[in-house]
Structure formats: C-alpha cells, structure tokens
Amino acid sequence: MKTNTFWRGLLILVLIAGSLSKVNPVKALGTPQIVGIDPSSPAPVGTTVSIYATVQWDSDFRSMRICFRDENWCQEDGSPDLTKNFDTSGLSAGTYTIIVEVAAVDKGWDTANKTYGSFELIGPSPEPTPIPPPRGPNISIFDFSPGSANVGDSVTIHIKVDSVNPGATKLNVSCGSLTKNETSEVEFYTDWNTGGCPTGSQTVTVLSRDVDDPDWRNPSSTTRSYSLSAQPVPIQSPTANFWADSSSILQGQCAYLYWDTAYAAGVDIDGLGVNASGSTQVCPNVTQKFTLTAHASPGGVDAQRNVTITVTAVQQPPTIVDSFQTGDVINIDGNIHVIVDGKRRHVPNPETLDALGISRGLINNKGFSDSELSQIIQGPDIPDVNIDPTGVVSFREAYLPNLVPIVPKPPTQATTTVPLVVPTVKPTTRPMAQPTAKPTATFTQPVVVPPEQQPEQQEVPIVTPPEPWTFEEWWCKEIGLFCDISVGATSVNTECKTQCVPEARRHRDDLFYRKWSQASTADGILKDAMLNPTFFDNNGQLMQVGVRPPREDPQAGDLIIWPSGCDNAWSGGCHIGYVNDGSPLTITDSNWKYQEGAICSRRDEKPIDYDPCMKFITPPIPAETYQPAPAQTTDKCSQYKWPWSWFCKWGLIK
C-alpha cells in the first residue's frame, strides 16, 4: 500500500513540472524534440529566450528551424542539434507559441514534422494613450520679398496665422539669420540675412502652436523653398584720359593725340577703333573736335572725352592762278593755253580755240612773265579739233558750256593786190620799226602810235650784191631762223652769222609778240601771230602782219614757215622761205646742207606740194585793206578745210 502511494506521488510531481514549463516534448524518431528553454516560462517582457531542440535523423534530414510567436519569426539551420535566441523586447505580455520544424530532403516546410510548445511573457499593464494637445493655428500668409535674391541680400518674410490668441509662431531657416525667430503676434515681419548661404534652393519652415501646447507637441507647420543666386560681379565702368600735345596749331601743322583707358571693352576715336592706350598724329585743315569713347561692358556706362584742336588759317599770298578764271587764255613761249579749273590746258591750234568759242583776241597774260605763268599746273591737252572734233565738243560742254563755237566767215576775193616780194633784193627797203621791249599785255584792237611818239626812223641803205654771187644761208640755232646774204662760201661761218641776228630781229619785229625762239616747231614760232594779227605804224600808215588760217590759200609775198618733219623742209629745225606764187605753190628758199667746206644750195621759184603743216605769214600791208584770199570752189562746204568742212556738212555753218 505504501509502495503504490509512492508512485502516485511521483507521477503527480512530474505532471506539475510539465504544466509549469508549458513544454510538451514528443519522443519519436524523425520528430524534433524541444530539449530545453532558458529561462523557463514565464519570463518578463524583454528577456532573451534561448531554445534548444534536437531530432533523430537519417538520410532524409534536410534542415531544422525554431519559430517564436508564429512562423513569421523563425531561425533555421542545417544541424539536427539547434539552439536559437529570441529577444522579446518590444513584445507585449502574453503567451507565445514555440514551433520546432524538421524538413525532409526535397520537401518544403509545409510538409515538415513539427513539435509545439509555449512560453509566457509577463509585465506591467500598458499606460493609457495620452490625449494630444490642440492643433496649432493655420498659417494663412507666408510670403518673401523679393521673390528671389542674391547671396548676401536681406529678404523680408511676412507671416500671419489664423488665431486671435496663438501660443507662438517660430521660423527655422536652412542658413543665415533672422531678426525675429519666434513671436506670439498674429501677423509680423522678419528680415532674413542670407550672408554666408550657399547658392541654390534654401528652405524656410514656419511652425505655429496652440496656446495650450507649450511643448510644441502638435504645431501646424509649413515649409517653402527660396532660391539664392551668386552675387554678381560688379560692373566696373571704364575710365579714360584724352589730351593733345597742342590744342592750337597753324593751318598745315600737325598735332599728336594721346589717350589711356581702363576697364574698357573697346575704344574708338570718332568711330575708328584704337588700342586701349596710345597716340596718333592728326593734321586738320580746320578747327576740329575729336571724341574718344571708351565702351563699357553690358551694364556699365561708357566714358567719353573730347579734345578740340583749333586751327588758325595762314594767310597765303595770292598765287598766279588766282588772277585767272576758267576760259582765260594765256601765251607761254608761243604756246597758247586755256585756264580750266585752275589748270592750264594747251590749245593745239587756233581752230580749236574757234571750236571752243574763245576769241583769238582774248589772250591776256595780265602782266605775268612766261616763267611765272609756267608755275600754273598744266593739265591734259585740249583735243585737236582737226583730229578729234567730238572730243572738243565734249570738252566745251563739260568745262565751257556757255560758249558757242566761233565760225569764221567763208573766204572772199581780196580787194587789193599784194605786192610780190622778190627775195633777191637785199636788204629790204621797207621802213621797219626798231626793236622794242617785249610787251606784257595783249591787244585785240589796232594800236595807233602818234607820229610825235614814234622813234626816229633811219633809212636802210641799199646794198648791191657782188658779182658773181651765190645765195647762202645760216641757221640761227639761238632763235630758229635762217638768214640769207650774198657772200662767198668761205664767209658762211663768219659774215652770215653776224647778219643773221639783225635779219631775224627785222622779221620778228613784224609780229607783236616776237616769239621766234622755238626752233623745233613752226607752231611754237607762230602761235602769237596766228591768234593776234600784229599792227604797227609805218610813217603814219597803219600796217599789219598776220598768219593765214589753214583754210586760206597762200599768196605771193607770204613768208612760208614749216617744221623739219613737214614735207619739203630739208633743215634740221624750222624752215623759212618766200612764196613766189600761191597757185601752184612756188617758193624761193635756201638750204644749207652741213658739210665741212660745202656751199649752200637754194631752191629758186621751186613748185612744191602744199601740206597742212605749212604756215604762211602775210607781208606787211595797210591794215584797212587786208582781206583773205578767195577760195576756188563751187561746193558750199568744200571752201572749208577740215574740220570746218565737217561742221558745214552737219549744218553747223549756215
């Protein structure tokens, strides 16, 4: 009886121990067993519970895991003896399930062998949830002024809350500082100093709490972003200095401009680009203001400086050309020129003057010498009407548009008989005026010298040539004439030369301007005579000598002069002879072929062909009786030579 009682007591103790540990181990092959739990159940919340399990295994064993609370919190291992720890911090007091699972090879946990146990966590009852304070008032106005700014600028923030009695409102900024961080005002302004802030987007947060929320547990909150830019580099406006080494100069002088600038994007003087600093020479003819501009970069202000150089005009003495105007005619060494725009333009022949509409009697040197007139700038020659009549018309229209061509009268029959001058009578017995000084003015009207003012005339003795005699010549290179005297060949280089000069003076005394000094061209010798018939007094009788125009036939008694390039001129320079007959042209002259010891030969009443380059000087005849010789023609226009025949055919001569 006592034995039975012993065993019953032992069974009760075992049952009590199993109930306290809440572990119900299952002993079976292939089924996991919970061997131990440390600490034993129950334990306080937050205790780390260590669970030890094992399983009898064979080749089908794959893995074993221990779970606490449910299958969502498990720790797995491939060992059949496994110990895992579970931290219960954060769990509530209560009973939690322990699950030990064993999975077979190629099997999942849904088919695993399982053993269950339990564990109790104990602790104090949870505190009741506290009642939150009232929500902070709504923030109705949250503005920035300006809307964006540069780093370092001051930004004004405007705040207003919808409460008549707010607990407090405060601001938090991501950088910088505020003049007012926290206030209990309903509406207020604060300045945000952004100095030291980085560029980019910055944040400002406003919080407002209720009056019953002193711990700021339930404030209203609003956060806004604000953009800060880098502080712009200040624009440096340029500076400039501008001066001249002389602010007053005489006309024709020069001055130097100097300048230096700084911070300029570009520099110019009156629009012409220059370096930032430098100098340049200027030579203004009149007072001039120079403006230097130093251009600024965008956003800057240009710098501008002015320098005025005063130019004083130098009183220039009047030049020779100032005494003439366009259309005036002058004679320089026998060459006729027309003044056009301050330049002298050579006139090739008298016919060109006619075509220009300029009278041959308008030559006026106004008292200036040839050397003085030569100082006038020479322009291009005027076209020759005999070669380029169209060019003459264009020239007149361009420079002398108000002039009308002068058309000479057609040739008429002479009313007087011109006496034949026989060259073999030496010397001539006609009374001649003695040489006088060269006049300095031109005349277009006959000049009558009263008898009481005339120089005493001396009769030239008649000289009878020796017998036998030969007609010889001497070419006076100095004055471009030949003389003819009756001397022997041995006297050519002595007596002829001494006689040449008086003979030349006698001939040129017949022409008012006495321009016989151009030996190379006949035109140079005859220009004055061609343009101005010469008048002189011969014992009370007014006489004249002229040059026949190209359209007028020569007459007996004329002197013929033509250049070496012209036909039948066998001399090296200008040749001279006497006209025995005008139709056909028959002349008497002499020709000295230079050769040591040679004797001059002559042409005596020799017919020669007429050539336009020949010029004919009329013999001295009474001024009131001279008329041009008639032309032998029946055609209206054939009575004119070129270019007048061209003008006639085109109806320019009526």
Instruction: Check whether 436 has a pLDDT greater than 70.
Output: no
Q: Tokens at residue 522, please? A: 């006949």
* Region(s) of the chain under CATH 2.60.40.1930: 21-122
Share above pLDDT 70 across residues of the chain, in percent, rounded to a whole number: 63
What confidence tier does 127 reach under pLDDT thresholds 50, 70, 90? low
As to burial, measured by CB atoms within 10 angstroms (0-12 exposed, 13-18 middle, 19+ buried), residue 483 is buried
pLDDT in tens, 165-213: 888 999 999 999 999 999 999 999 999 999 999 999 999 999 999 999 9
Contact assessment for residue 544 and residue 511, using Cβ atoms and an 8 Å cutoff: no
Q: Tell me the C-alpha distance between 537 and 433, whole Å.
A: 8
Q: pTM of the predicted model, to two decimals? A: 0.28
Q: Among 243-252, 447-456, 529-538, 541-550, whose mean pLDDT is lowest?
A: 447-456
**pLDDT grade for 241, boundaries at 50, 70 and 90:** very high
SS3 call for 292 = strand
Confidence band (pLDDT; 50, 70, 90) for 281? very high
Q: Three-state SS for 175?
A: coil
Binning pLDDT at 50, 70 and 90, where does residue 26 land?
very low
Please indicate whether residue 457 or residue 180 has the higher confidence score (pLDDT): 180
Half-sphere exposure of 317 (CA within 13 A, CB side): 1
C-beta of residue 508 within 8 angstroms of C-beta of residue 530: no
Give the confidence band of 570 by pLDDT, cuts at 50, 70, 90.
low
Mean pLDDT of 223-249: 91
Residue 362, SS3 per DSSP: helix
Q: Identify the DSSP state of 7.
A: H
Average the pLDDT over each of 310-324, 371-385, 435-449, 517-531 and give the range with the smallest value.
435-449
pLDDT bucket at 368, cuts 50 / 70 / 90: confident
pLDDT of residue 648: 66
Residue 574 is predicted with a pLDDT of 55
For residue 555, what pLDDT is reported? 83
Say what the pLDDT of residue 48 is. Answer: 92
Distance CA 83, CA 279 (A): 100
Mean pLDDT along residues 613-639: 59
End-to-end CA distance of the chain: 193
The chain-wide mean pLDDT, for the chain, equals 73
* H helix or E strand, kind and range, residue 538: strand 534-538
Question: Residue 636: its pLDDT value, please?
Answer: 61
| CATH 2.140.10.10 is the classification of domain 239-312 | no
Residues near 112 by beta carbon (within 8 Å), at least 6 away in sequence: 101, 102, 103, 104
CB–CB of 287/308 below 8 Å?
A: yes
pLDDT at 239 (0 to 100): 94
- Higher pLDDT residue, 283 or 61? 283
For residues 82 and 647, which has the higher predicted lDDT (pLDDT)? Answer: 82
Q: Is the pLDDT of residue 641 over 50?
A: yes
Average pLDDT over residues 585-611: 60
CATH class of residue range 21-122: mainly beta
pLDDT for position 139: 92
Contact by Cβ (8 Å): 549, 510: no
Which residue type occupies 156?
A: T
User: Which amino acid, 341?
Assistant: D
pLDDT of residue 534: 47
Q: Which residues contact 204 (CB under 8 A, 6 or more apart)?
A: 144, 157, 171, 172, 173, 174, 192, 223, 224, 226
User: Is the pLDDT higher at 117 or at 420?
Assistant: 117
Q: What is the mean pLDDT of residues 356-376?
A: 84
* Beta-bridge partners for 267: 274, 294
Res. 626: pLDDT tops 70? no
Looking at residues 230-253, what average pLDDT do you find? 90
More confident residue, 595 or 171: 171
**Distance (Å, rounded) from C-alpha 507 to C-alpha 619?**
10
Q: Where are the domain boundaries for CATH 2.60.40.10 in the chain?
A: 139-229, 239-312
Is the pLDDT assigned to residue 393 strictly greater than 80?
yes
Q: What pLDDT does residue 543 have?
A: 61
Considering only 49-63, 522-536, 549-563, 604-618, which range has the smallest mean pLDDT? 522-536
Question: CATH topology for 139-229?
Answer: Immunoglobulin-like (2.60.40)
Smallest Cα–Cα separation from 586: which of 603, 567, 608? Answer: 608
**Which whole number is the average pLDDT over 228-236?**
87
The string of DSSP letters for 30-86 reads: TS-EEEEEESPSSEETTPEEEEEEE----TTEEEEEEEEESTTSEEEES-SEEEEEE
